[in-house]
């Protein structure tokens, strides 16, 4: 009781420290909405001291706010509790409850989740939108999945290519996964986990109509595993009707996602192409005097560098056909249209994006030029 006010006071101390200037380069993730949908930035695979992570749940909330995420889920291993000697609490919902208190003070959506973990072929799987993690803790994984379904969970297979369980890194569906899919108990698959992108997992996603996921799977600190290495954390962009838990859930079941890690974007064509379309804005289009060379400035409104290759019949005047628009920056193209035109169809291949293994999307923008 005597110490009731101490937490607040201690935090105040650290805020008091006068800042001469901050050196932090911006790490806020930014992606535009697409027509008809709000784009939610999510990281739905994370750990804390309540399983084998190294931080208290509130740190995960604060990391998410620094990264400008909309949604997170703490997905503790319910079966694997290396800190059990010190944190013996039998309730597997504690991590969620503690984080919820922190998240409620901020504009961050917290989704209740849990990891279901076994050796291969079951492997690791995340169930999110659960109501109670405790009933998932049963011996037979089949029963865990059944319980998750009963709770209405969205379930995805974590890092299928993980070499500790798949020494060749080329996952295939086992009977277990096939049965889960058939029973409507497995809905998504991580195509990006940590910094690892698996073309094989992408193929599985497309063949089995699973939702494409990207997650950080963070155990330590986002700052150490990503930021100080010059990376951004892997995330899943979810295209939801509204910024609510219900809309998020609908969108995940409907497969409306793009997985993102640095400049790599992976998604189904119907999701990735609209995202890329919305990611580039146009400024200052006009012909250079006395020429048929059209000068146009492209602005990248995302936090990912976007790498493109020209796919138009026209060549460029002062750029390589392969070019990058830096995150949040611009690139000015001069396009040799050979005659003055009123409508330009800018057509670019997105070299950092994949809609299938080895397949880049081609994106077109119709631009009405002013006279």
SS3 204: helix
Find all residues with CB under 8 Å of 2, minimum gap 6, and list them.
Answer: none
206-235 residues in contact with a copy of itself (CB under 8 A) are: 217, 219-221, 223-225, 228-231
Stretch near a copy of itself under the rule CB under 8 A, chosen from 7-15, 135-143, 206-214, 245-253: 7-15
Q: Which is nearer to a copy of itself, 126 or 248 (CB)?
A: 126
57-116 residues in contact with a copy of itself (CB under 8 A) are: 58-59, 62, 77, 79-80, 82-83, 85-89, 94, 98
- In whole angstroms, the minimum distance from the beta carbon of 368 to a copy of itself comes to 22
Among 30, 132, 179, 196, binds a copy of itself (CB under 8 A): 196
117-146 residues in contact with a copy of itself (CB under 8 A) are: 117-119
Find all residues with CB under 8 Å of 21, minimum gap 6, and list them.
Answer: none
List Cβ<8 Å contacts ≥24 apart for 209-212.
209/255, 210/156, 210/157, 210/181, 210/186, 210/255, 211/154, 211/156, 211/187, 211/252, 211/253, 211/255, 211/257, 212/188, 212/236, 212/255, 212/257, 212/258, 212/259, 212/266, 212/267, 212/268
Position of tokens 């930014």?
30
Could you give the string, one character per residue 258-297, with x where binding to a copy of itself holds by CB under 8 A and - elsewhere? -----xx-----------------------x-xxxx-x--
Residue 54 in contact with a copy of itself, rule: CB under 8 A: yes
**Are 34 and 64 in contact, with CB atoms under 8 Å apart?**
no
User: What span, in angstroms and rounded, lies between the C-alpha atoms of 235 and 232?
Assistant: 9
**Are 162 and 195 in contact, with CB atoms under 8 Å apart?**
no
313-352 residues in contact with a copy of itself (CB under 8 A) are: 315-326, 329-334, 336, 338, 351-352
Q: Which is nearer to a copy of itself, 154 or 354 (CB)?
A: 354
- In whole angstroms, the minimum distance from the beta carbon of 113 to a copy of itself comes to 17
Q: Which is nearer to a copy of itself, 243 or 331 (CB)?
A: 331
């Amino acid at each position: 009781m005597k110490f009731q006010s101490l937490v607040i006071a201690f935090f105040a101390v650290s805020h008091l420290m006068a800042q001469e200037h901050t050196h932090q380069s911006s790490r806020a993730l930014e992606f535009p909405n697409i027509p008809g949908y709000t784009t939610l930035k999510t990281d739905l695979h994370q750990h804390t001291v309540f399983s084998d992570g190294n931080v208290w749940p509130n740190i995960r909330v604060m990391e998410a706010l620094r990264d400008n995420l909309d949604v997170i889920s703490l997905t503790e291993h319910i079966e694997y509790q290396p800190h059990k000697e010190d944190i013996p609490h039998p309730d597997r919902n504690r991590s969620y409850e503690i984080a919820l208190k922190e998240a409620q003070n901020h504009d961050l959506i917290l989704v209740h989740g849990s990891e279901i973990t076994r050796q291969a072929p079951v492997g690791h799987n995340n169930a999110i939108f659960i109501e109670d993690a405790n009933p998932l803790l049963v011996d037979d994984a089949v029963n865990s999945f059944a319980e998750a379904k009963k709770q209405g969970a969205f379930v995805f297979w974590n890092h299928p290519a993980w070499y500790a369980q798949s020494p060749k890194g080329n996952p295939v569906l086992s009977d277990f996964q096939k049965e889960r899919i058939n029973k409507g108990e497995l809905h998504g698959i991580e195509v990006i986990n940590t910094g690892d992108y698996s073309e094989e997992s992408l193929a599985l996603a497309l063949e089995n109509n699973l939702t494409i996921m990207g997650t950080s799977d963070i155990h330590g600190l986002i700052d150490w595993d990503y930021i100080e290495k010059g990376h951004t954390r892997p995330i899943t962009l979810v295209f939801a009707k509204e910024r609510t838990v219900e809309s998020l859930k609908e969108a995940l079941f409907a497969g409306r996602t793009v997985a993102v890690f640095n400049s790599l974007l992976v998604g189904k064509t119907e999701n990735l192409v609209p995202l890329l379309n919305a990611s580039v804005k146009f400024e200052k289009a006009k012909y250079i005097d006395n020429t048929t060379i059209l000068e146009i400035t492209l602005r990248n409104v995302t936090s990912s560098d976007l790498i493109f290759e020209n796919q138009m019949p026209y060549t460029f005047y002062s750029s390589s056909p392969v070019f990058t628009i830096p995150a949040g920056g611009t690139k000015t193209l001069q396009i040799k249209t050979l005659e003055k035109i009123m409508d330009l169809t800018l057509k670019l291949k997105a070299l950092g994006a994949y809609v299938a293994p080895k397949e880049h999307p081609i994106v077109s923008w119709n631009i009405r030029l002013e006279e």
